[in-house]
Amino acid sequence: MKEIYLDNHTTSSLDPKVVEAMQPYFKARFGNYLQPHQKGQELASDIYSAYEKVYELIGADVADDELIFTSSCEEAISTVYHIAHQECVQKQGKNHFLSLSTEDAPILMNLKKLELQGCKTIHLELGTDGLISVDKIAEAITPRTAMVSLTLAHGLTGLIQPIERLKELCKLRNIFLHLDISYAIGKMDIDVQELGTDFITFGGDKFHGPKSSGILYVRPGIAIAPLICGGLEQKGLRGGILDVSSLVGLSIACTLAKENISEMGLEVASLRDTFENKLNNNLDEIEIIFNQGMRLPNVSVIAFKSSVSDALLYALNQKGVYASFGGVQFQRLSNILNTLGYAPQVANGAISFALSSQTTLEDIESATGIIIEEVKKMRNLNVEGSYGTQRAH
C-alpha cells in the first residue's frame, strides 16, 4: 500500500538534499565552532554560509538584522514572549497582550503563561471570512497593550491574513507585532522589510527541513533577553552548543523553498485545484471552503457533509491517505468553522489537506479515488442506518 501524505501543515518529511547536507556533521564535522582548534574552526565558513541562506530567504539584512537559530518554532515563539515580558511588562508596565482564539498552541500556551504571571490577555475572534478585523483589534488596544501576536497564514485553513493596516496600527501605537510565518515559508514571498514586524518566527519542519530547527528574527533596536542562558554561542543570545547539522539542514531547506516558490504557486496549486475539482465532480454534498479567499497554494479544506471527520479520517488512514482535522479545543477545524458560523453538518465533516512540493499527480489521483470510495461507503451506511431506524419505528 502506497502512503499518500497530505498533512504537511502538521509536519513534513525531510528533503533528501537536506539529509545529505546534514550527514557530515554527525561524524567528521562535530566540533564546537567557538574553539580555536581545527575541529572548531573548520565549521566557521559552513555556519556563515548557512546563516546567509536563511537571511536571503526572508529578505533580512546580514549587517543589521538579528536572526537566532533555535531548536524549534516553539522555542522561537517562547523567546519572543520572554523578550516582550522583559521589555514591556518589567520595564514599561505594559502587561496587555492580544491574539486570536484560533491560534496555534505555542502562542496560546505562552499567553496562558503570561496570565499566570499577572498579565491580561485577550483572544479575539476571527471575522466570518476567517480573517482578522483590524478595527476590532484597534478597539481592544489600550495604553497598556504590549504586543499583538498571530500567525501570518493559518496551517489548517490556509487563509493568509491581511496585515498591512495592522502593522501600521502597531507602529503608530508603539506596540510589538509578532508574526509566525511557519506555514507561509516556501508558499509565498516573504520579505521582513515589507512585513514591517518586530518579531518573526518559523520552524524548518513545515517545509522539509529538520524538526530540530527554528528561527527568530528580531527587529534592530530591540534588546534581546536570552530564553536559554549559556556561553557566547550566537553572541550570547541563545545558550547551548550550536547544532550545526540542523542549521545547515535548515539552510538547504530555505534555499529549496526559495527556488521552488514558483512551482508551489503554479504546479502545486494546480494539483490542489485538480484534487478539489475531482472530488466536487464525483461527490454530492461536499463543500470546498475558503477557496474564494486569499489562501496558501497547497491547502484545501473540504467539508464532507454526509460524513464525520473523525470516522472518515480513520477510514482514510486505513488506506494510507493522511490528512488532518486539527488539534484540540480552539485549534480543531470543526471548532474554527463553528466560530465562523458554518452549520454543524459542514463543520463536523471538514478535513484539511495540505500538499507539498513532493506531492505528485499520481498521489492526487490515488487519494481522490480512495476518498470518493470511502465517502460513498459512509453515505450508504448512513442511508441504510436511517432506513433501518425508520423501519424499526
Residue that finishes a domain, picked among 243, 259, 275: 259
Q: Please tell me whether residues 247 and 287 are part of one structural domain.
A: no
Phi–psi pair at 296, nearest 5 degrees? -65, 150
Q: What is the pLDDT of residue 261?
A: 92
Residue that finishes a domain, picked among 259, 284, 299: 259
Q: What is the DSSP letter of 59?
A: T
Q: What is the pLDDT of residue 389?
A: 40
Q: Please tell me whether residues 298 and 237 are part of one structural domain.
A: no
Q: What is the pLDDT of residue 68?
A: 97
Q: Please tell me whether residues 228 and 321 are part of one structural domain.
A: no
Q: Please tell me whether residues 51 and 131 are part of one structural domain.
A: yes
Q: Is residue 187 part of a domain?
A: yes
Strand 350-354 relative to strand 120-124, pairing: unpaired
Q: What is the pLDDT of residue 360?
A: 96
The answer to whether 146 and 96 have CB atoms below 8 angstroms apart is yes
Q: Please tell me whether residues 272 and 232 are part of one structural domain.
A: no
d(CA 304, CA 302): 6
Count of structural domains, the chain: 2
- Domain interval for residue 50: 16-259
d(CA 370, CA 286): 15
Strand 214-218 relative to strand 199-203, pairing: antiparallel
Q: Is residue 392 part of a domain?
A: no
Q: Is residue 116 part of a domain?
A: yes
* CATH code (residue 371): 3.90.1150.10
226 burial level (CB within 10 Å; 0-12, 13-18, 19+): middle
Q: Please tell me whether residues 325 and 370 are part of one structural domain.
A: yes
Q: What is the pLDDT of residue 379?
A: 84
Q: What is the pLDDT of residue 309?
A: 94
Q: Please tell me whether residues 189 and 318 are part of one structural domain.
A: no
Q: What is the pLDDT of residue 387?
A: 37
Strand 286-289 relative to strand 299-304, pairing: antiparallel
Q: Please tell me whether residues 294 and 335 are part of one structural domain.
A: yes
Q: Is residue 117 part of a domain?
A: yes
Q: Please tell me whether residues 237 and 169 are part of one structural domain.
A: yes
* CATH code (residue 189): 3.40.640.10
Q: Please tell me whether residues 324 and 268 are part of one structural domain.
A: yes
d(CA 83, CA 286): 45
Q: Is residue 306 part of a domain?
A: yes
With CA atoms as reference, report the closest residue to 205 among 7, 50, 14. Answer: 14
Helix (H, G, I), strand (E, B) or coil at 365: helix
pLDDT in tens, the chain (393 residues): 789 999 999 999 999 999 999 999 998 888 887 788 888 788 899 999 999 999 999 999 998 999 999 999 999 999 999 999 999 999 999 999 999 988 999 999 999 999 999 999 999 998 889 999 999 999 999 999 999 999 999 999 999 999 999 999 999 999 999 999 999 999 999 999 999 999 999 999 999 999 999 999 999 999 998 999 988 889 899 999 999 999 999 999 999 999 999 988 899 999 999 999 999 999 988 999 999 889 999 999 999 998 999 999 999 999 999 999 987 655 789 999 998 999 999 999 999 999 999 999 999 999 999 999 999 998 887 655 443 443 333
C-alpha cell of 150?
498571530
Q: Please tell me whether residues 97 and 184 are part of one structural domain.
A: yes
With CA atoms as reference, report the closest residue to 306 among 382, 374, 367. Answer: 382
Q: Is residue 5 part of a domain?
A: no
Q: Please tell me whether residues 221 and 266 are part of one structural domain.
A: no
Q: Is residue 288 part of a domain?
A: yes
Residue that finishes a domain, picked among 239, 259, 279: 259
Q: Is residue 7 part of a domain?
A: no
